[in-house]
Amino acid sequence: MYTLETLNRLSEIQSDQDIKSLSHAIFPGTHCPLFGVALTASYIQNMIIVVIGTSECTYYTKNFAYHRQKGKDSVYSLVLDDNEVVFGAVNQVEKAIKEIIEIENPDAIMLVTTCVPELIGEDYTGVKYSLEQEGNIPIFVVQTEHFKCNSHIPGMSRTLKSFAQAMQPCAQNDSINILGHRQDKVDETELVQLLTKHGITINTVIPSKCTIEQIKEAPRAKLNIVTDMIALDLAKEMKHRFNIDYIYFDKHLNHKIIDENYKQIEGLFGISLQEDLEQVKLEYHQLFNRCQTLLTGKKLIYGNTPMMAFETVDFLSDLGLVPVFVQLRKLYDQDIKFKDNLLSKGYDPYISRIANIAPLRKLYDTISADLYVGHESPMLLKQKGMLQITFDVHAQKIGYELSIGMMKDMIKLFEMESMPMGGMIHAAM
């Protein structure tokens, strides 16, 4: 029997260890760091990813990258046999990398170690130093031991930070780097369109639009704009090594934070974006007021979105929703401000570790929410009387356009629900 009393409420969450799961047998569970590497590194053009591990790990990464790259496979699987699990595989890996360089002529290689090699304790950083000069290309080593963490996020952060090893000192110009953007069409985002209009060029976008040569010259930019938390470590490393400032312009939703980010950019480049932003600000506030009319008092279960959990729930509570149950991957430093905001507004929802859907389904009747934000079975939620919405389609947006897109979806969902034939809106949007 699962009960909400197993969990802590928001007011009891002081550290990550305070976040509990409804059951010890977690299902479906979180992705591993290896998935994070595949999500991030597969964007880099002509870079080979070499995964060292068991057959299921290597097949999983190769299959994902194959489909993501539409058949252009850049993943090599080095499967450990019984003898290598005991005695290690460094020599075989070195031999394989030499052959890959000879056959593929790549611009770089990323060597990814999974749980078994990490348990054995083999140090593959030595391969990097022995072959990097011989092959005359960068070799990055990324560790993805899932037994030390609970999600794919460390794999993404380590992948991006590893790229700093290839960067070289450059004469700076007035361009910017976008760090952490993992979607296509960055040129169509509000942020990039505004900067381009005012003559600021994009030096490179890591990882979604770059080559190894562009990564090497990333220190040419005057400023790094971090559009996803996963790139903060890379930005800090570039600040340390090349003294390049950065602005953390993540998928923020509150207008004050978005405005402050734009003002920082204005100050650094001596430009004014306010006239260009006037219309979107007006639209933001009109939609905000409309959402409050529709949503006030409705109870919310938060599952997962491309945005930060507490920041998103804080914004949704500003729109009038009452958070009663929040699923959290981890308590990050960036969460603290929004956690405190929720408590100051009088909200104290139950907090559960994310990706533990199976036991939560037993408690939907007890929670009795009106809306589920995130991925779940639409039909099951409909049976439990809940509407469902996901915001994945907005993941590539940066600036006011993100909040505006989300609020438009919310309005569409609840206005359609009030119509006589509104039953089909239970499906995820």
DSSP 311-323: HHHHHHHHTT-EE
The pLDDT assigned to 62 comes to 86
Q: Which of 38, 33, 130, 136 is nearest to 91 (CA)?
A: 130
Give the strand order in the sheet containing 387-389.
Answer: 8-9, 350-353, 322-328, 299-302, 371-373, 387-389
pLDDT in tens, 309-346: 999 999 999 999 999 999 999 999 999 999 999 999 99
Is cis: bond before 207, omega within 30 of 0? Answer: yes
The pLDDT assigned to 101 comes to 95
Q: Where are the beta strands (DSSP E) in 91-211?
A: 108-113, 139-143, 176-181, 202-207
Q: Name the H helices within 250-383.
A: 255-269, 274-295, 309-318, 336-344, 357-360, 364-367, 378-383
Query: What is the residue-wise DSSP string for 149-175?
Result: -SSSHHHHHHHHHHGGGG-------S-
Structure tokens at 332: 């990050």
Query: What is the dihedral angle through the alpha carbons of 383, 387, 391, 392, rounded to the nearest 10 degrees?
Result: 20
Q: Which of 360, 365, 364, 381 is nearest to 427 (CA)?
A: 381
CA R_g for the chain: 23
pTM: 0.91
In angstroms, the CA 61 to CA 81 distance is: 18
Q: Which of 158, 90, 75, 165 is nearest to 124 (CA)?
A: 90
Distance of CA 199 to the CA centre of its chain: 29
Query: Taking the CB of residue 134, how many other CB atoms lie within 10 A of it?
Result: 12
The pLDDT assigned to 92 comes to 93
Q: Which residues of the chain have pLDDT under 50?
A: 423-429
The pLDDT assigned to 420 comes to 60
